[in-house]
Structure 1
Amino acid sequence: MTWIFKTGVVNGQEPATTGSTFPNRFTGRQIVVAIGSDTDRPEYRLLDNGLMYYREGSEGGFTQLGQQKKDTTQKVFATLEQECKIRTAKVEKPEKPDVTITWKRAKTEFDVGWEKRNAPEVYERFYDRFMKLFPQKKK
């Protein structure tokens, strides 16, 4: 009886995920920051369940870098959605951007990119805060 109770408590405390926890199959919201426009560019991802990923290039494998707290994750998404207004932003993305920020949910995507720190101020602040979430060695 005690074993059943302990199993129920442990299972009840697991965080709820949306779809897969693998970034390419995750159906919840995610933020992707790609630095550069080359095929081997570094890419940082934050899923709305708090999981953080890194990969080199658009075809490389993902490395999980840890997990952010729920409140931190919610603040990051709120900043991008409400302050930066990424879904309605009218920022022309250059052909070879130095930084691209993408908001994704399932198959819906909105992105903003810029060259040589010519970003709108709100996106530049967002980028700086976002990158501080990730471990230093992967930047």
Structure 2
Amino acid sequence: MRLFFVFCLTYLLEISLATAQTPAPAGSTFPNRFTGRQIVVTIGNDTDRPEYRLLDNGLMYYREGSEGGFTQLGQQKKDTTQKVFANLEQTCKIKTTKLEKPENPAVTVTWKRAKTEFAVGWEKRKAPDEYEQFYDQFMELFPKNRKK
């Protein structure tokens, strides 16, 4: 009987140690409450415009309109996600770009982290070269059936 008790106790201890070592996800995975970096691309300026989001944990979201609910579209690999953020932050230099956002932008690219936000928008065919390339590469990450 003692051997059975020792075996059960050892088994429970192993299970509790294994579950204690699994890392808990940091922050919320819901885009509006996510405190890490995220890239938001909106197309057009209508109220039902499509919006694409990439969080720095790799999760991708889509929604129509600024008030609609989010649809999770999958997750990018860590290295792909890091390259996209590096491209926007280092090549496009979104944090220091001085580009006047037009009244009716065709595309707006926004970099967010908590309450900090930097945005660049442009009218059709008037995008800076690096942003046009970034936009094309960013949209390639998303499934074809969610592109407009």
TM over 0.5: yes
1-structure distance, mates of 2:22, 2:58? 16
CA distances 1:62-85 after superposition (whole Å, capped 9, x unpaired): 000000011110110000000000
2-structure distance, mates of 1:90, 1:6? 55
2-structure distance, mates of 1:91, 1:63? 31
TM-score under structure 1 normalisation?
A: 0.92
TM-score under structure 2 normalisation?
A: 0.86
**Residue 82 (structure 1) aligned to one of 90, 95, 98:** 90
Spell out structure 1 runs of 4+ moving beyond 6 A.
Answer: none
1:97 to 1:20, Cα distance in 2 relative to 1, 3 A: same
Determine if the alignment matches structure 1 residue 51 to structure 2 residue 51: no
CA distances 1:33-72 after superposition (whole Å, capped 9, x unpaired): 0000011000000000000000000000000000001111
Kindly, what percent of the aligned residue pairs are identical?
A: 73
**Residue 118 (structure 1) aligned to one of 117, 123, 126:** 126
1-structure distance, mates of 2:82, 2:24? 15
Q: Kindly provide the amino acid, as one letter, of the partner of residue 136 in structure 1.
A: K
2:40 match:
32
Structure 1 gaps, min length 5: none
Q: What is the RMSD of the two structures over their aligned residues, measured on CA atoms? A: 1.7
1:7 to 1:135, Cα distance in 2 relative to 1, 3 A: farther
Paired residues in the alignment total 138
Larger radius of gyration: 2
1-structure distance, mates of 2:106, 2:117? 19
1:10 to 1:60, Cα distance in 2 relative to 1, 3 A: same
Q: Kindly provide the amino acid, as one letter, of the partner of residue 93 in structure 2.
A: K
Q: How does 1:1-139 map to 2 (within 5 A)?
A: 1-2=10-11, 5=14, 8-9=17-18, 12-14=21-23, 16-17=25-26, 19-139=27-147
